[in-house]
Structure 1
Amino acid sequence: MKIRRAIALMFAFLLVVMLFLSGCGSGSTSKEQESAGEGNIEKGEKVDEGKENVSGGEIGGFKEAPMLAKLVEEGKLPPVKERLPEEPLVYVEGTEVPVNDLPKLEIGKYGGTLRIVNPGSPGGGEWWAISREPLLNQPGFGTPGEKPVGNVLKDFDMSEDGRVFTFYMRKGLKWSDGHPVTTEDVRFAYEDVLLNEELTPVFPTWLANPDGTPCELEIVDEYTFRIKFKEPYALFPYTLSLHWQTWDSGPLLQPSHYMKKFHIKYTPLEELKPLLEENGLGENEWYRLYSLYSWGGGALEKTRIGCPTLAPYMLVDMPSAQVAILRRNPYYWKVDAAGNQLPYIDEIRADTVTTVDMLPMKIMGGEVDLARQAVSITEVALYKENENKGGYRVIPLKFHCPIPITFNYSNPDPVWREIVWDTRFRQALNLAINREEIIDAVYHGFASPSKITPSEYDPEKANQLLDNMGLDKRDSEGWRLRPDGKRMELLIETSAPATDFIPMIELLVEYWKNIGIYTTMKQVESSLLSSRVQANETQVIVSSWFDLPVAQGNPYMLEWVFLNDRYKVSDGFHKWYTRFGKEGIEPPDSLKPVFELYRKMRASKSFEEIGIHMDEWEKAMHDSLFLIVPVEDVMIPLIVSNRIKNVPEKGYQIMANFAGEVLFYDE
């Protein structure tokens, strides 16, 4: 333990040095970057930022990137004023990244290519996060109880009873191909995509009434529409302000002028046949063809080149299946406080590596400008040692996904179910966990004890609880016995999706053995584990992440990462919740509040009610120990080029990607 403490202190010192050095760096400014403040300046144009809830101040005119100014001069592109909506979103401090994490937002310089590399497919988590554009917005992950503000949409109103939502679009907003964004795109998305059973076999619950029927859409005019529900649903705007659910993955907005070309209602089958054949699809598989050519939450694919977007970058080329080239959207609808149209960086080049083990060599060789998703704290010393060689800096930031210990509450073994439903059993397991040792041994001191779960370490109290609940008898080897006389055994299963899972589970095995429970672990291939979960064959699973801080900021995320996840709530409870009690297993009173309180959040009439119920939900999770979170706020490295500015220096690591449109090269 002394050695581990020494290692932790060494890493702590390294962190301090890293934080001090990360603010350093200077360089010369290229001629092209000096011209970024020039371009076509429209005199006297004022942006109404009052309705944007931003403080960009007076904007005397709009400016654009030199590469776009050249196209304007050649007559290939309209002037920047005509490309922007009447009221662009003015991006200032606190618009997306919390002010505390990025207190000073610099006016950037145009130019450069952002190089990102991921294992598997091009783009990965870096492109995914940079391209996120929700219809509404909240800074950071959001705050329960506060009203979301405009983003793609200009603004919205909610009726007093929380049932009717009126949305106002940005007049003059355009898709990346220059076509206007209007309520026809909303009507198309609702009537022709959401209500089409081939494209949408199951209507999304977040857009449905409590009885499962679809919400009602009313088109008011070209830039105004209403969504109506049968019951109060103040949580609805939160579904539209979640970065995980954006215009392209909602969907409430689709580029109808483009996507109608792939829709059987608007394009005869005879005209679709060549594309169906080209993509190896059957004659009746037009709906698969539609998905291939739609963003719809999909990955970077050749078929999506040309599909209009509202993101800062559009896919323009894929030289191979391992490389994607994205270029600035000339019709992007955000500007900085000086009137410069965003984004600052011209292009993104997304490459891939065959395995994650190859990524460090790319980073240390100076071939990567931004790396987030595939780096871990275990590599921080290696990356730090090669900073100068690679021309990057290592910024330690918080990971937004702690690892939970989850229980199968619907395992058919009646004795197991009786034991695991008893709160005292989960309390005992939790009390046996030495979080300080996990933090030192697994995370080298860069994590914190959980807050959503009690963090007291008291093995003696754990033993007392197990004795009191009737698990006081032991076999000849000293292991506790169940009420039916069988040995009390726990099997922890994992697919080990990251390097910290196995070391943590090995410690859990020892902790629970120390209180008399015969505990083992088994690494299982992910698809097999998924089958075992659905078949109710598991006991304990430590094999996924829990986007807890995201859900704490935007309660709608609870449905995504908790209530709809069989790994976390068990198959029986999941069926009971999603099928309104008609199927599955009803949770006991001690566990039911985590479901009921979310339903109360959804049925709230005001945003303030949501905040109150979220506080109650966190207390219910804490007291019930529905799942156990050993540690939170694990610090992981963000790798970023020394030349890139407007990078958060604290907070959550993923925010650097969410702020992708304001990243810029300083030399």
Structure 2
Amino acid sequence: MTVWRRERPLGGRGGRDGGAGRPRAAAALAALALLLPGLARAADETAAARLPAEPLVVDLAAAGRELGRPGGEIVTLVAKPRDIRYISAYSYARLVGYDESLALKADLLAQYESQDDKVFTFTLRAGHRWSDGQPFTAEDFRYWWEDVALNKELSPSGPPEFMIVDGQLPRFEVLDPLRVRFTWDRPNPRFLPELASPRDPFIYRPAHYLKQFHARYAPKNDLDAAVKAQKVKGWATLHNRLDAMFEQTNPDLPTLQPWRVTNTAPAARFVFVRNPYYHRVDRNGQQLPYVDRVLMDIAAAGLFAAKANAGEADLLFRGLTMEDIPILREGERAKGYRTHLWPSARGSEIALYPNLTAADPVWRRLNRDVRFRRALSLAIDRRTLNNALLFGLGTEGNDTVVEGSPLYKPEYRTLHAQYDPEEASRLLDTVGLGARNGAGIRLLPDGRELEIVVETDGESMMLTDGLTLIAEFWREVGVKLFVKPQDRTVLRNRAYAGLTTMVAAQGLDLAMPTAEMPPDELAPVHQDTYAWPKWGQFVETKGKEGEPVDIPEAKTLLDLNAQWMATGDAAMQARIWGEMLRNRAENQWVIGTVAGALQPVVAKTRLVNLPDRATYSWKPTAMIGVYRMDEFFWGPERKEAAR
């Protein structure tokens, strides 16, 4: 059994660090306290009453950060209203979450216990409340499990896939108002990592709020009236619309996050205000978050760098790229901000995905031939790409885990990834592509030119520029490349239907894993992987759609992934990761190019506690999430309110 200890209880409440004001103001406050001694005591009691009995006391000093002062607001930018949902990743309050060293720790929970990854017991913090002041209890877990996840009208496809082990659901128990238990007969090692993911699965709900929209609890007349007022088809649609834990589209929905949204679209600015019942405090007893409001302004994505340059954002990262660094540097001194450059943990900045489940039989056969995939890899001059796109600062090679991961081995990056056009040509000849036309372009077996249509979402200038260079490299070995940009949704639907030959996109999201993190991104189990969408469909739909995996080396990935999912042994998990990563490099399922782009993170110079340099990724760091935005504060003076 692994028992994770309860966070240390809140100690004595000291004064605010860094809160020294003007002598005259301090003297006035002291005099007021002498005249009205009950006033300060009552205010302190009010603040204490908002906290759980045992708040999570953050150790700022251990992380090299400063004790903060409360107040002010942070302005950031989003390209469209839907993007406000990413505040859940930025602010990163989880039942169980990663710290900066990627160790799992209790967060919203007071503690958790795991018995062989089969039995998970969660203990809540006594006195913890939702943002509306109502208690956060075991009932909120029961409501989600029994009345949402298992309700066919609200969840037609059933509970989330990570809650199912070998086709079996867990046994759920409410042990008492502050303790719940999930029990599986076999290990479920992905359960805790899923709870810590950048997209919170929210296995709890504010039952006291949502019950008024649930057919099991609400009077029928009241529910019918609410359905009519919202102009929706029925109570389930109404409930799902209002149950917007991730989307942030319902200001009335209580939250446990540090800030809650206060307005809805259409709007040019979305305002998030601090949660008065948030569960974290610093060692002086000051409740987090330090900043009162987060303002998300809508702006065209193409203007993000220019607006940051003009000082119109206090904090900005998502939507900025390495190409923006020159313009961002220009405005730093005049507008009082700094452009921090964080290394990006991504398997490859540009990855090529030959579609192994393509509908075209000629391209399907070619894409499935490992010699063809290796030839395309060997024909790419990655050093030139690195110099042109990443100023020579990147890492050349396959789409694999980065050096900061404990699972990294150099051969995963280098295998079949050196520049060798002669060997590439030889392999293409052995595949049966020796015939060429007058222009030197190889011919397919059916007489067509060997022209690979590479489809993209057209959103990345780096990707477009990189493909232009790759087209030149491939032409040297007799292969044409045609770039076809399109809307991302259209691209995905084409891939799912088998209509794509090859897709260019970013590489591995989870490129800085530990052995305890699920390796499913390496296996053909998700349809949104452009290399094998129909295989992923087959797995996701349990054989109802798509195609079964029919290449032995890919079946090995399926088996290894299943083995990882069935064990809680860390050494075995690490071994499985290693075998899957070697398989990925050997088979070139995805052709990587260069990794290691720098992510610009723009922040005003007076915004304190943002790391100067840290790893940036979607998974597992939730962009800036594990670096605790609730600990950022304005110093030495509070930022003026936005106009």
Relative to the length of structure 1, the TM-score reads 0.81
Q: Does 1:330 align with 2:276?
A: yes
Task: Quote the Cα distance in structure 1 between the aligned partners of 2:210 and 2:45.
Answer: 24
Pairwise mapping of residues 157-172 of structure 1 onto structure 2 (< 5 A)? Answer: 157-160=113-116, 162-172=117-127
Higher mean alpha-carbon deviation, 433-442 vs 646-655, is at: 646-655
1:256 correspondence with 2:256:
no
Contact kept, 8 Å, 1:419 with 1:425, in 2: the verdict is yes
Q: Which residue of 2 aligns with 1:7?
A: none
Inter-CA distance 392–109: structure 2 relative to 1 (3 Å threshold): same
Number of equivalent positions:
593
1:292 aligns with 2:248: no
1-structure distance, mates of 2:191, 2:537: 23
Counterpart residue identity of residue 505, structure 1 = L
Is residue 2:51 matched to residue 1:84? yes
Amino acid paired to 2:125: R
- Residues of 2 paired with 1:50 and 1:208: CA distance? 21
Change (3 A) 1:457 1:590: same
Is 1:533 aligned with 2:533?
Answer: no
Secondary structure, in 3 states, of the residue corresponding to 1:600? helix
Query: Where does 1:111-510 land on structure 2 (aligned, <5 Å)?
Result: 111-121=71-81, 124=84, 127-140=87-100, 142=102, 148-160=104-116, 162-242=117-197, 244-246=198-200, 250-282=201-233, 284=234, 286-299=235-248, 301=249, 304-317=250-263, 321-353=267-299, 355-401=300-346, 402-450=349-397, 452=400, 453-454=413-414, 455-510=417-472
Matches within 5 A, 1:33-48: none
Deviations 1:414-458 (A, max 9, x none): 332222212221111111111222222223334322452434121
Q: Which residue matches 2:596?
A: 633
Query: 1:572 and 1:308, CA in 2 relative to 1: closer, same or farther beyond 3 A?
Result: same
The residue that corresponds to 2:579 in the other structure is: 616
Residue in structure 1 matched with residue 632 of structure 2 by the alignment? 663
Over 3 Å counting, the alpha-carbon distance change for 1:350 and 1:525 in structure 2 is closer
Alignment of 1:101-116 (within 5 A): 103-116=63-76
Identify if the C-alpha distance between structure 1 residues 253 and 562 changes in structure 2 by more than 3 Å, giving closer, same or farther.
farther
State the alpha-carbon separation in 2 of the partners of residues 64 and 173 from structure 1.
23
In the TM superposition, what whole-angstrom CA distance separates every residue of 1:123-156 from its partner, at most 9, and x where no partner exists? 647624333322212224836xxxx321112222
Q: Which amino acid aligns with 1:499?
A: M
For residue 590 of structure 1, give the secondary structure of its aligned residue in structure 2: helix
- 1:159–1:165: 8 Å Cα contact kept in structure 2? yes
Summarize deviations over 1:222-247 as a string: whole Å, max 9, x none.
Answer: 122111223222222211122x232x
Cα distance between partner residues in 2 of 1:89 and 1:463: 61
In structure 2, give the amino acid aligned to 1:665.
W
Match of 2:408 in 1: none
Residue identity in the other structure for 2:582? K
Q: Does 1:60 align with 2:12?
A: yes
Q: Is the 8 A contact 1:408 1:539 kept in 2?
A: yes
In 2: Cα distance, 1:313 partner to 1:166 partner: 28
Q: 1:350 to 1:587 in 2, by over 3 A?
A: same
Partner of 2:29 in structure 1? Answer: none
Structure 1 residue 267 displacement after superposition: 1.1
Alpha-carbon distance between aligned partners in 1 of 2:152 and 2:458, rounded to the nearest angstrom: 37
Deviation sequence 1:342-390 (CA, Å, 0-9, x none): 111111122112x223333432232210001121211211111111222
Q: Shift of the alpha carbon at 1:524? A: 2.2
Letter in 2 for 1:418: R
The percent identity for this pair of structures is 26
Q: CA deviation at 1:573?
A: 1.1
Instruction: Give the Cα separation in 2 of the matches to 1:77 and 1:210.
Output: 48
Q: Report the Cα distance in structure 2 between the residues aligned to 1:59 and 1:76, rounded to whole angstroms.
A: 18
**459-468 vs 449-458, greater mean Cα deviation:** 449-458
Amino acid at match of 1:347: R
For residue 546 of structure 1, report the CA deviation from its aligned partner: 3.6
SS in 1 for 2:5: helix
Aligned-residue offset at 1:662: 0.6
Structure 1 CA distance, aligned partners of 2:191 and 2:141? 16
**Structure 1, residues 384-422: CA drift from partner, whole Å, max 9, x if none?**
111122211111112344342112111133332222212
CA distance in 2, matches of 1:462, 1:586: 27
CA separation of 1:446 and 1:59: change in aligned 2, threshold 3 A? farther
TM-aligned CA deviation for residue 492 of structure 1: 0.5
Provide the C-alpha distance between the structure 2 equivalents of 1:277 and 1:440, rounded to a whole number of angstroms: 60
Supply the distance in 2 between the matched residues of 1:650 and 1:554 (Cα, whole angstroms).
Answer: 25
What amino acid maps onto 2:590 in structure 1?
L
Q: Structure 1: state its 5+ residue gaps.
A: 1-48
In the alignment, which residue of structure 1 is the partner of 2:26? Answer: none
Give the Cα–Cα distance (whole angstroms) in 2 for the partners of residues 89 and 226 of structure 1: 22
CA contact (8 A) 1:236 1:602 kept: no
Distance 2:14 2:140 in 1: 27
Deviation string 1:542-561 (CA, Å, 9 cap, x unpaired) is 14554132556763374599
Cα distance in structure 1, aligned partners of 2:495 and 2:115: 42
- 2:360 is matched by which residue type in structure 1? D
Checking the alignment, whether the CA contact within 8 Å between 1:573 and 1:585 is kept in structure 2 is yes
Instruction: Tell me the secondary structure at the aligned position of residue 630 of structure 2.
Output: helix
CA distance in 2 between counterparts of 1:552 and 1:542 reads 27
Q: 1:541-552 residue pairs with structure 2 within 5 A?
A: 541-543=503-505, 546-549=508-511
**How far is 1:122 from its partner?**
7.2
In 2, the alpha carbon distance for the partners of 1:561 and 1:550 equals 17
Shift of 1:612: 2.9
